[in-house]
Amino acid sequence: MATPAQQVEAAKSATGLAIDGTRALFGGTRQQGLRAGTSRFLQQGWFVGWKAAMAIYCIVWAAWWDRGEDLDLRIYLATWTHMLATAYFVISLISSLLCMAYLARERPAPVEEGKPKRPPPVKGTRSPVPCYFRWLQHISWVLTCISSMVVLSVFWMTIYESDVPVTSVYVGSTILALLMLVDQFLIATEMKFKYAWLGLYFFVVYIFYNVIYYYEHNVEDRVTFEVFDWDERPGRACLWVFLILAFGVPGFTALHVFVYRLRERMYTSYKHNLEVIEEPAPKTEKEEKKEAKEKEKEEKKEEKKEAKEKEKDKKKEKKEKKKEDPPPAVVDAPPLLAPAALGGGMALAAAPPPQVQQGGYYYPGYPPPPMAYPGPPPTGPPVAPPGSKREKVKHGVEMMQQMGLM
């Protein structure tokens, strides 16, 4: 008996499996869904128009191409191929419409000032096309691509007769293969060589159906194709079956793979103005190392440029400072004035070294101390005020006489 905790865990695991299955059926990534419903070279509106035209063409041929033919067309490989093509183009038309609505909804609208921009879709968001829808489209597309080329080759190699009037069956068998090649060049779906196994299964089923129909229906014209005459020419029929399975299916798959690769190379070379719907391929170690080295070189170059710019700015600042603050001009200082030793007057002479003298002393720039004169004030003729030009000349003459120069 399971405990309550074990029952809860079992219920959670079952719920998780159910959710995963639902996601696998209805989900898928954004990139997968867009590849199913967009074109490499056409804008989405033109691509929807192409799919709509092809869907209408296939529906009209499927409804009216047996008019005027007294045959049971359900037994022919061309009929099977045309029904697959009708299913493919109808499903792909719906997928392209879903992608068109998705792209219109996710297209960034004009952003007003002051409002944040809408962030781009997150990688791995839900696909615009359901997963089961994409699988139906993918299977019908691969089978139509291969089968249409097989029908075209068998028709022109064994059935076509120049003296027989052209019928709707002839036209439908020829045009469909060419239309599938054009569609392969326009779509964005990935084509791989391993998809040939779908074509092998399809032709094995058809061959069994052909053999059973041949022996079960007692009618005059039991041969669906002239090459599949299992009664009169069984060896020839087996040879054709071998050629179709061994060479036809792989060869025509390789042809469509070649067209797919050519389309992708042209797309990557010329970069049409469409939304990029491929996820970037993972980078190798060599590419990552190269990118790291390039980034380091760019960073070093930027650092050198910044250092040079800083040096230039410093030099400019120094030059501007020199212009703004010129050096101070050199001014000759006036001679120091010393008090006269005699008469209490002032004389022009070099100042003696600093020492206490009668009458005091001073230097330029400092306030002169009060002058002291011993004894009573001098008598006689008036003396010129000290500092006048006459007084300076008089004292100069006296000093020169005392020094014996006169």
Domain boundary among 235, 255, 279: 279
Q: Is 134 exposed, middle or buried (0-12, 13-18, 19+ CB in 10 A)?
A: buried
215 in a structural domain: yes
Q: How many domains does the chain have?
A: 2
290 in a structural domain: no
146/76 same-domain check? yes
176 in a structural domain: yes
139 in a structural domain: yes
């042209």: which residue's tokens? 266
274/345 same-domain check? no
180 in a structural domain: yes
């410093």: which residue's tokens? 314
Three-state helix/strand/coil letters over the chain: CCCHHHHHHHHHHHHHHHHHHHHHHHCCEHHHHHHHHCECCCCHHHHHHHHHHHHHHHHHHHHHCCCCCCCCHHHCHHHHHHHHHHHHHHHHHHHHHHHHHHHHHHCCCCCCCCCCCCCCCCCCCECCCCHHHHHHHHHHHHHHHHHHHHHHHHHHHHHCCCCCCCCHHHHHHHHHHHHHHHHHHHECCCCCHHHHHHHHHHHHHHHHHHHHHHHHCCCCCCCCCCCCCCCCCHHHHHHHHHHHHHHHHHHHHHHHHHHHHHHHHHHHHHCCCCCCCCCCCCCCHHHHHHHHHHHHHHHHHHHHHHHHHHHHHHHHHHHHHHHHCCCCCCCCCCCCCEECCCCCCEECCCCCCCCCCCCCCCCCCCCCCCCCCCCCCCCCCCCCCCCCHHHHHHHHHHHHHHCCCC
Query: Contact, 51 vs 92, CB < 8 A?
Result: yes
User: Smallest Cα–Cα separation from 186: which of 40, 6, 284, 60?
Assistant: 40
204/83 same-domain check? yes
Q: Report the interhelical angle of 30-37 vs 77-106 (nearest 10°).
A: 120
391/254 same-domain check? no
User: Smallest Cα–Cα separation from 184: which of 153, 136, 157, 149?
Assistant: 149
337-366: string of b/e by CB count within 10 Å (b at 16+)?
bbbbbeebbbbebeeeeeeeeebebeeeee
Query: Contact, 184 vs 39, CB < 8 A?
Result: no
275/343 same-domain check? no
Residue 242: give the domain boundaries. 22-106+124-279
305 in a structural domain: no
81/228 same-domain check? yes
Query: Contact, 65 vs 81, CB < 8 A?
Result: no
Distance in angstroms (rounded) separating the CA atoms of residues 139 and 135: 6
344/265 same-domain check? no
Q: Which residues pair with 126 in a beta bridge?
A: 29
Domain boundary among 263, 279, 295: 279
The pLDDT, as a whole number, for residue 269 is: 80
Residue 221 CB contacts under 8 Å (≥ 6 apart), including other chains: 71
């033109």: which residue's tokens? 46
76 in a structural domain: yes
250/344 same-domain check? no
Domain boundary among 279, 305, 330: 279
Query: Contact, 97 vs 55, CB < 8 A?
Result: no
The pLDDT, as a whole number, for residue 347 is: 44
The pLDDT, as a whole number, for residue 333 is: 47
146/63 same-domain check? yes
Query: Contact, 131 vs 27, CB < 8 A?
Result: yes
398/268 same-domain check? no
**pLDDT, averaged in runs of 10, over the chain (406 residues):** 59 49 46 81 91 93 68 76 93 93 72 52 65 90 94 80 64 84 92 93 90 71 64 83 92 95 86 51 75 88 88 83 64 46 45 45 50 53 61 78 72
User: Smallest Cα–Cα separation from 47: which of 61, 63, 35?
Assistant: 35
């008996």: which residue's tokens? 1
344/272 same-domain check? no
345/229 same-domain check? no
The pLDDT, as a whole number, for residue 308 is: 87
312 in a structural domain: no
